[in-house]
Structure 1
Amino acid sequence: MDVSKKILFAGDPHGNFRPLINAVHQHKPEAVVLLGDYDLETPLENPLQEIIGRTEIWWIAGNHDFETPDKHRNLFHSALADKGLHLKVTDIAGIRIAGLGGIFLGRVWYPPQMPKWVNKQQYINAQRMHIRMGGMPLKYQCAIWHDEFHALARLKADILVTHEAPGSHKHGFQAIGELASAMGVKQIFHGHLHENYAKVIKHNIQVFGVANAAVTDLAGNTVSDCRASGY
């Protein structure tokens, strides 16, 4: 098997999983990593039923996955709930992959600005009783939190997968590149901005943007997308 195809990275499906499914059938990867924004109408295992058992399926969440209670439940309470990569490093096909889901949210932390809330507990303690009793709103759950981000930076990995982009993109964040550098990462794969591209940032870190519903291999080659799949 082509070593570059042993792990595939899937850009924001927004409900269209067919390019990913086609890529799995064609390339038979050991694992796939989904980069967020699924817009799930049913639990995640349902649209992926065709490839379950054929490859490992891993994921991070995007901002869309917190838009409604149903979308959130269909991801975080799916049969694949334990395959989330957020804030940890996982050995996948012999490669250490770190995950950072969610987005930077101005009301929480928007680098390079200082965080408005250092951690989730500080935010909750400052809220009125009905919010404290009801739990953190979904909008805040999709945020990247300052303390969790820096805890991740203390780990080591080969690849970092994120929903947000690093500074390689005009709408990205330098903080993501700094995170990758601290972790010793050599490659970053991200979704969110619906664009296929490849760039190199500081410390010779390769960055690959993966467009919506596109699929990229370890070398950054696009192996499947909406146009090739007839969507």
Structure 2
Amino acid sequence: MSRNNRILFAGDPHGDFQSLIDAAIENRPDAVVLLGDCDLERPLEQYLQKIIGLTRIWWIPGNHDFDFPRRYHYLFNSELAEYGLHLKVREIAGLRIAGLGGIFLGRIWYPPQKPRWKNKAHYLASQPGHIKKNGLSLKLKSAIWHDEVESLKRLKADILVTHEAPGCHEYGFSAIDDIAKAMGVKKIFHGHQHDSYYAKLPYDIEVFGVADRSVVDLSGKFYPVKTD
């Protein structure tokens, strides 16, 4: 299982999946992983019809996937909904891949500050009745919650895919580093910041930032960016 292009990681598509489609058709990977911000105006499977059946499609949500109800619906209720990786570890092409979608929000938890709420139930219990009844807003559904991260950290993985950047990025968070360390991760792939770069964290954890509409393989090789 040494073939580096057996898994491809796609930076924020923002509605443009052409680079991923071309790379998948050319390389025939076992799986592709979307790193958030799909920005869908129709169901996800309709954008990726050309590679469905050719490869397995996994994803984590980004902050913009919660901007509007339709974007949320077209991702979380798509035919590919079961392949969401947020807060999960799945064996993919012989590797354990963990996913953490969403972003840190100041009203919930913004490291290095302490979390403002123990969990979602704690937050809702403090809110007016109409909010308790209706549940979390889409904005708060995009938040990274401390208790969920702590549960994720108890699992083990080879690779961590995130929307937020780890601490090596100017706008990243060392909390991501802590998750990777606790899980025994050796590689992090992230989107969100629209930067393509390589860095190394302590404990020999490699970081690959994947720019919007870019595609990278397990070795860090980038594939040409194409637009539809």
TM-score (norm 2): 0.98
Displacement of 1:2 in angstroms is: 7.2
Confirm or deny that 1:79 pairs with 2:103.
Answer: no
Displacement of 1:213 in angstroms is: 0.4
Task: Report the equivalent of 2:7.
Answer: 7
Task: Report the equivalent of 2:214.
Answer: 214
Tell whether the 8 Å contact from 1:158 to 1:187 is kept in structure 2 after alignment: yes
Displacement of 1:218 in angstroms is: 0.1
Query: Secondary structure of the residue that 1:58 maps to in structure 2?
Result: strand
Task: Report the equivalent of 2:101.
Answer: 101
Task: Report the equivalent of 2:33.
Answer: 33
What is the identity, as a one-letter code, of the residue corresponding to 1:73?
Answer: H
Q: Mind listing any 5+ residue stretches in structure 1 that lack a counterpart?
A: none
Confirm or deny that 1:155 pairs with 2:155.
Answer: yes
Task: Could you list the structure 1 runs, at least 4 aligned residues long, displaced by more than 4 angstroms after superposition.
Answer: none
Tell whether the 8 Å contact from 2:160 to 2:187 is kept in structure 1 after alignment: yes
Query: Secondary structure of the residue that 2:47 maps to in structure 1?
Result: coil
Whole-angstrom distance in 2 between the partners of 1:230 and 1:200: 30
Task: Report the equivalent of 1:205.
Answer: 205
Query: Secondary structure of the residue that 1:45 maps to in structure 2?
Result: helix
User: After superposition, where does 1:1-231 map in structure 2 within 5 Å?
Assistant: 3-225=3-225, 229-230=226-227
Whole-angstrom distance in 2 between the partners of 1:197 and 1:49: 30
Query: Secondary structure of the residue that 1:181 maps to in structure 2?
Result: helix
Whole-angstrom distance in 2 between the partners of 1:194 and 1:230: 16
Whole-angstrom distance in 2 between the partners of 1:178 and 1:35: 19
Identity of aligned residues (%): 59
- How has the CA–CA distance of structure 1 residues 39 and 136 changed in structure 2, closer, same or farther, with 3 Å as cutoff? same
Cα deviation, 1:35-76, whole Å, max 9, x if unaligned, reads 000110001101001100000000000000000100000000
Tell whether the 8 Å contact from 1:216 to 1:224 is kept in structure 2 after alignment: no
Tell whether the 8 Å contact from 1:22 to 1:224 is kept in structure 2 after alignment: no
Cα deviation, 1:19-46, whole Å, max 9, x if unaligned, reads 0000001111000000000110001101
Whole-angstrom distance in 2 between the partners of 1:167 and 1:127: 33
Equivalenced residues, count? 228
TM-score (norm 1): 0.97
What is the identity, as a one-letter code, of the residue corresponding to 1:188?
Answer: I
Displacement of 1:221 in angstroms is: 1.1
Q: Mind listing any 5+ residue stretches in structure 2 that lack a counterpart?
A: none
